[in-house]
Structure 1
Amino acid sequence: MNLNSGTFRLVYENALFTFGKMILLYFTIPLFLLWLFIGYFFTLGEDVVAAISGPAYVIISLFAITGFKNIFPVAIGMGSTRTNLLKTFSMVSLVSVLVTVFFLNIFQWMLLTLYERWNVAANILHPAILFKQEYSFISYFLIDLMFVTFIFSITFLLFTIYYRLGLKKSVIWLMVLLIIGTLLNYSGVVNFSLYSWLTTKDLNVTILFTFITIISLIALLMTYPIMRNAPLQPKSKKD
């Protein structure tokens, strides 16, 4: 087995367990069946929100941290390069996110369809309701994909920064950025009300999807120079 296939198999097997078994088999399907049971046998009002995707978002964020952290020393020990590992981890993770989000939306669509047939008033938890009230599978899927990709990319970027700088320096830089951002915002120099701008402009879903996806890809690309020469062990908490 060559180095590329060995690295791919290592990342793939970890992603398969996390996305395939943990997210879909252990959490999403049981929650889907639970909300089907509750919706059929109990009377639910409009204040009830059926949530089956919450654990998936949390696990995907954790995979961006623990997945790479656990694979990193093993892959390098097998002879893989850091560049190859970063490329493989990013590509496999993005494909896994795509497939997982698709199945999540399939289950949500099935739940919504059955609730409408049973005249259940409960709502389905989905990030797309912040931007688009009328349900459309394609639009909801794209917004969900955008949202989850953004979560994964930003989490992975923040982890790599913490990995290289350590806890103390990461917190110091975070506070410096927060202070600068707060001063710029309240001085009127820069307005950071991005969410308000997005929701009031009634942006096309495609434009929104493209905008956030570009930010997510930039965040992933930024991990390369950070981890290109990274040591096998992260900085200690005291650093």
Structure 2
Amino acid sequence: MNIGTFRMVYEETLFAFGKLLLLYITIPLLLLWLFIGYFFNLGEDVVAAISGPTYFFILLFAINGFKTIFPVAIGMGSTRINLLKTFYVVGLASVLVITFILNVFQWILLTLYERWNVAAQILHPATFLNREYTFLSYYLIDFMLGIFTFSFFFLFYTIYYRLGFRKCVIWLMLFVIIGTLLKYSDLMNFSIWEWLVTQNFHDMVIFLFSFVITISLIALFITYHIMRNAPLTAKSKKD
């Protein structure tokens, strides 16, 4: 792994997640909800949310991070393959760290709300499956969804980069038409979401985690083959 390329990707990640996300957004949000919880009487209908910006920044980094680094790294002598491998390693490690820090903040918020007898709920994806909180299970869900967001939005970006806007719209509409026909022709009447919410969350979390991580890594593997010989400029919007 090229040291110059690693440092470039690392510094971009540190700025996006460490400075912008944590220092300027997530920590102020945490302090705001702690202040509101301590001084105001919050009911059960109130939902404290500090996780939204994390997912948005993971999405943003998957697209804009690579877009910013790509021409600069190649111009400084890095190869596409080396840049991709560095981006994968640093990106996945960043998601691992940032979701852990997020869950520490959520644990602090939950612990203090319980101590202060605050009835407000904490917004978290795991609550749609099971409302019982454990740090590990909630962290696994955040990490899983973070990897999924990073992998698939980077995949969508690389497809757009290589195909262009017009071809992407054509393929998107083709998938929409096929999916609509399958749904209303009763060929695909099984609802994954309905099945998920009927399962015991603690019994299936490892299976769900393994499945989502696997398909996310497959998505990254596809991006490698899409971008390893990519030109320096993306297809135009007219292509």
**For this structure pair, what is the TM-score category when the shorter chain's length is used for normalisation?**
over 0.9
The separation in 1 between residues aligned to 2:125 and 2:28, in whole angstroms, is 21
* 2:137 maps to which of 131, 136, 139: 139
Q: Note the C-alpha offset of 1:192.
A: 5.7
Deviations 1:87-134 (A, max 9, x none): 110110000000000000000000000000000000011111112210
5 Å matches for 1:44-59?
44-59=42-57
3-state SS, counterpart of residue 38 of structure 2: helix
Contact 1:153 1:220 in 2 (8 A): yes
5 Å matches for 1:1-239?
4-191=2-189, 193-202=191-200, 203-239=203-239
The separation in 2 between residues aligned to 1:87 and 1:132, in whole angstroms, is 36
Aligned AA (1:18): A
The separation in 2 between residues aligned to 1:20 and 1:196, in whole angstroms, is 37
Q: Note the C-alpha offset of 1:20.
A: 0.8
Taking only the aligned residue pairs, the percentage that are identical comes to 69
Deviations 1:42-82 (A, max 9, x none): 01011111011111111110111110000000111111111
The separation in 2 between residues aligned to 1:192 and 1:218, in whole angstroms, is 24
Q: Note the C-alpha offset of 1:200.
A: 2.0
Q: TM-score, normalised by structure 2?
A: 0.96
Q: Note the C-alpha offset of 1:185.
A: 2.3
Q: After the TM superposition, which of the residue ranges 105-114 and 19-28 deviates more from structure 2?
A: 19-28
Runs of 4+ with >4 A deviation: none
Q: Note the C-alpha offset of 1:199.
A: 2.0
The separation in 2 between residues aligned to 1:214 and 1:195, in whole angstroms, is 19
Aligned AA (1:228): R
Q: Note the C-alpha offset of 1:186.
A: 2.0
The separation in 1 between residues aligned to 2:206 and 2:129, in whole angstroms, is 12
The separation in 2 between residues aligned to 1:174 and 1:192, in whole angstroms, is 22
The separation in 1 between residues aligned to 2:233 and 2:198, in whole angstroms, is 46
Q: Note the C-alpha offset of 1:201.
A: 3.2
Contact 1:185 1:192 in 2 (8 A): no
